[in-house]
Amino acid sequence: MDITALRDQAIEAIERAKNAKELEEVNKIYLGRKGKLTQLLRSLNAMEAGERRKIGAAANALRDELHETLEKKQELLARLELQEEARQNRIDVTVPGKRLPVGHLHPLTHIQREARRIFESMGFSTVQGNEIESQHYNFDALNFPPDHPARDMQDTFWLKQHRKGERNLLRTHTSPVQVRYMEQHVPPFRIIVPGRVFRNEATDARHETNLYQLEGLMVGKYVSAAHFKGVLEEFYREFFHTPVSIRLRPSFFPFVEPGFEVDMSCVVCKGGGCSTCSQGGWIEMMGAGMVHPNVFKAAGYVPGDWQGFAFGMGLDRLAMMKYKVHDIRLFYGGDFRFLRQF
């Protein structure tokens, strides 16, 4: 082939190459071991002297030119590649940001806050108590006899006793705050005490070892069970926004006289009976009653001077009824499929 034609062909091929791989291919076709120009250079030996000099000089010049052109093209391709990379990596400040997953309040916290809001709107103040309590405030001051089964290892998480004297425990209810508060305050008053309590018992759909209660205590000169009923009805009306069936039945707690338990018609089965309410159609929501004279005495009051009502409602049960949750253990399982629904 004519050297000028070979040159035109090679230069055009170099110009056409779109990337490093194609350029390498061109290099191979013309300058490789079996390349067109390489073969021409090899064939010089067979030529007669005059022709060899003429063609040899032109072929060598073409080899240098091709080397140089290839190198330049290589640099150009590398630059273009860098530019393309930069274009692809460009930060577009107008693209909307990625939303970070944000948590939310636990359903039991919502319930506690809603219950607080309603009682505070009725003039109750919120008071806090201790989760670690003494035997005195949890039991003795609340008129529990020494052999009451609630004091049993089976029902109570007792703490190790390091020093002689009082035994401590994880409070089994929020009622100890009744006496603690009365020791420091003179009636009339109305308080609520929301908080965590602990029971050493087997769990099931309605029972947990860790649960939340909300204690209520209203003391004055003429506070009666009728006031309790009024407060309770107002609370349920506000909390459920719809009429719910409630029943009060007589019950025994050593720190009230008379005592009663408040049941609510099970919302899971609408009272028909299901595993949540043990087929009974009713769920026990709270214990309550008129404050026992011995509790007033333990707090340093003269019993005849005051009267009042107290109640302790289970906030988990309230949440179960509000959200129609059939098993209390779902609140503590940490399962996002459940928690994300609130």
Binding piece for ligand FA5, criterion CB under 6 A, among 12-20, 61-69, 84-92, 252-260: 252-260
- Among 124, 235, 236, 253, indicate the residue that binds ligand FA5 (CB under 6 A): 253
Identify whether the C-beta of residue 172 lies closer than 8 Å to the C-beta of residue 142. no
Specify the DSSP element, H or E, that contains 313.
Answer: strand 307-314
133 near ligand FA5, rule: CB under 6 A: no
The answer to whether residue 314 forms part of the interface with ligand FA5 (CB under 6 A) is yes
> For residue 160, what are the contacts with CB-CB under 8 A and spacing of at least 6?
none
> Which of 118, 256, 266, 330 is close enough to bind ligand FA5 by CB under 6 A?
256
Report helix, strand or coil for 237: helix
Taking the C-alpha atoms of 238, 244, 249 and 254 in order, what is their torsion angle to the nearest 10 degrees? Answer: -30
Q: Which amino acid is present at 141? A: A
Least Å from the CB of residue 209 to ligand FA5 = 7
Q: Quick check: 143 binds ligand FA5 (CB under 6 A)?
A: no
Q: Which helix or strand (DSSP H or E) is residue 192 part of? A: strand 189-198
CB of 330 to ligand FA5, least distance (A): 13
* Phi, psi of 248, rounded to the nearest 5 degrees: -105, 130
Structure tokens at 308: 């009042």
- According to CB under 6 A, which residues from 257 to 296 bind ligand FA5? 259, 284-289
Radius of gyration of the chain (CA): 44
- With a CB cutoff of 8 Å and minimum separation 6, the contacts of 121 are 238
Q: Minimum distance from CB of 249 to ligand FA5 (Å)?
A: 12
Task: Rule CB under 6 A: say whether 317 interacts with ligand FA5.
Answer: yes
Token pair 């009365």 in the structure block, residue? 182
**DSSP symbol at 158:** B
Interacting residue with ligand FA5 among 156, 301, 316, 319 (CB under 6 A): 316
In the bound complex, what is the minimum distance in angstroms from residue 97's beta carbon to ligand FA5? 43
**How far apart are CB 247 and ligand FA5 at their closest, in Å?**
13
Q: How far is the CB of 225 from ligand FA5 (least distance, A)?
A: 12
Residue 308 found at the interface with ligand FA5 (CB under 6 A): no
Contact code string over 195-214 relative to ligand FA5, x by CB under 6 A: ----x-x-----xx--x-x-
Measured CA to CA, the distance from residue 262 to residue 277 in angstroms comes to 14
Rule CB under 6 A: which residues touch ligand FA5?
A: 173, 175, 199, 201, 207-208, 211, 213, 253, 256, 259, 284-289, 310-312, 314, 316-317, 328
